[in-house]
């Protein structure tokens, strides 16, 4: 049901250097939402702590609508991505920011986009809560905020009165989710069409994480891994894998875990999935053909493993990335 009174007051708190793309998402999505009479459902305002312009990392600044007083009156507070150093590097909020976040209305809904989660974490707002942030900064986030249940595979996490999104465009997914939760799918779909974005995206961040090509060493299990990568279309059992490294099965399993951090079987599935992703992105091969080329044998098996790895089916993955290619 819609929150009252309308329009719902949304404040976007800009912390320097703010990520300009993130900062504009609430205005783009929520600011374009209207009821059946054409009346705005949200009043989106941008604020800085002192009301002055806020720099971005890209050479321009954003002039806000007002100062911290807009934060105090917000019904929903959005903290977009930022390179705010105290939060990003030390996990600390300075006095003015800490005071602003402590002075929110009791029923204020709190939202972060991308690295804005670092600010919420630094303020202690995410302790014991579920959250997400950009996958590239997940390890850093965990080191600073071990009390937070972080899931970097999610595009966004709705933990009731606190919601967090993954990097950049995932902020659009989260704002559409807010709109859908507040006013239903019809209005959310209408805004999504206006913005020329999907109303809902399948899968999570895992489909966008870059995986480096594994370094192959001649020593240890490197020779065996190089052989496996060249023969992914074959059935490879662990005994045959170990034979390529000229090691006993026990020694091979131990050395493999030491060098890769995973078992030979888990590593092999990961390489097969990555090869399937490459073929889905760059070729017109059918799903069953790709499955055989990657050693999965059938399209059903490929679907199972790709779904487990990136959260979507081969067809959906191809539609997402083949179009871009």
| pLDDT tens digits, 1-29 | 344 457 999 999 999 999 999 999 999 99
Phi–psi pair at 99, nearest 5 degrees: -65, -40
Greater confidence (58 vs 317) lies with 58
**276 pLDDT more than 50:** yes
- Rounded to an integer, the average pLDDT of 175-187 is 90
Res 1: pLDDT: 38
In the block, tokens 């465009």 appear at 169
Q: What angle do CA 116, 139, 142 make, to 5 degrees?
A: 70
Res 324: pLDDT: 45
Q: What angle do CA 301, 305, 309 make, to 5 degrees?
A: 165
Res 4: pLDDT: 44
**55 pLDDT more than 90:** yes
Res 166: pLDDT: 93
Whole-prediction pTM value?
A: 0.68
Res 197: pLDDT: 80
From the list 44, 36, 208, 238, the residue with the least C-alpha distance to 132 is 208
Q: Are 27 and 12 in contact (CB under 8 A)?
A: yes
**202 pLDDT more than 80:** no
Query: Distance of CA 172 to CAs 13, 45, 230, 258, Å?
Result: 17, 17, 40, 40
Phi–psi pair at 164, nearest 5 degrees: -130, 150
Phi–psi pair at 255, nearest 5 degrees: -65, -35
Neighbours of 223 (CB within 10 A): 15
In the block, tokens 């049901």 appear at 1
- Distance, CA of 197 to CA of 165 (rounded, Å): 16
Greater confidence (274 vs 205) lies with 274
61: β partners:
55
Phi–psi pair at 60, nearest 5 degrees: -135, 165
- Distance, CA of 45 to CA of 66 (rounded, Å): 8
From the list 306, 32, 217, the residue with the least C-alpha distance to 298 is 306
Phi–psi pair at 151, nearest 5 degrees: -130, 95
Cβ burial, residue 195 (10 Å; 0-12/13-18/19+): middle
Pairing of strands 8-13, 76-79: parallel
From the list 102, 48, 109, 41, the residue with the least C-alpha distance to 74 is 109
Mean pLDDT (the chain) is 89
**153 pLDDT more than 50:** yes
3-class state of residue 24 by DSSP = helix
Q: Are 32 and 97 in contact (CB under 8 A)?
A: no
Res 99: pLDDT: 94
Q: For the segment 225-255, what is each residue's pLDDT rounded down to a tens digit?
A: 889 988 999 999 999 999 999 999 999 999 9
Contacts of the segment 295-298: beta carbons below 8 A, 24+ positions apart: 295/232, 295/233, 295/234, 295/235, 295/236, 295/268, 296/272
162: β partners:
110, 159
């Amino acid at each position: 049901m819609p929150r009252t009174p309308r329009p719902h007051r949304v404040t976007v708190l800009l912390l320097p250097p703010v990520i300009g793309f993130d900062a504009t998402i609430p205005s783009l999505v929520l600011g374009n939402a209207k009821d059946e009479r054409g009346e705005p459902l949200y009043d989106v305002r941008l604020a800085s702590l002192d009301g002055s312009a806020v720099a971005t990392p890209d050479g321009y600044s954003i002039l806000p609508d007002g100062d911290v007083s807009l934060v105090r009156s917000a019904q929903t507070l959005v903290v977009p991505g930022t390179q705010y150093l105290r939060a990003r590097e030390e996990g600390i909020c300075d006095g003015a920011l800490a005071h602003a976040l402590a002075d929110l209305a009791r029923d204020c809904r709190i939202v972060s986009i991308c690295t804005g989660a670092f600010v919420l974490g630094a303020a202690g707002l995410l302790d014991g809560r579920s959250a997400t942030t950009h996958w590239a900064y997940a390890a850093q986030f965990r080191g600073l905020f071990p009390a937070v249940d972080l899931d970097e595979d999610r595009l966004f996490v709705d933990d009731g009165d606190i919601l967090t999104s993954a990097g950049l465009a995932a902020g659009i997914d989260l704002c559409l989710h807010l709109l859908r939760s507040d006013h239903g799918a019809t209005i959310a779909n209408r805004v999504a069409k206006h913005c020329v974005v999907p109303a809902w995206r399948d899968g999570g961040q895992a489909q966008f994480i870059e995986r480096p090509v594994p370094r192959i060493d001649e020593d240890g299990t490197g020779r065996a891994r190089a052989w496996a990568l060249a023969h992914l279309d074959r059935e490879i059992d662990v005994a045959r894998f170990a034979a390529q490294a000229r090691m006993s099965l026990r020694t091979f399993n131990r050395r493999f875990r030491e060098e890769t951090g995973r078992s030979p079987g888990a590593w092999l599935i990961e390489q097969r999935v990555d090869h399937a992703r490459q073929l889905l992105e760059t070729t017109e091969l059918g799903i069953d053909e790709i499955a055989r080329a990657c050693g999965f044998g059938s399209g059903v098996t490929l679907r199972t493993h790709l779904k487990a790895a990136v959260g979507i089916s081969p067809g959906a993955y191809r539609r997402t990335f083949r179009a871009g290619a």
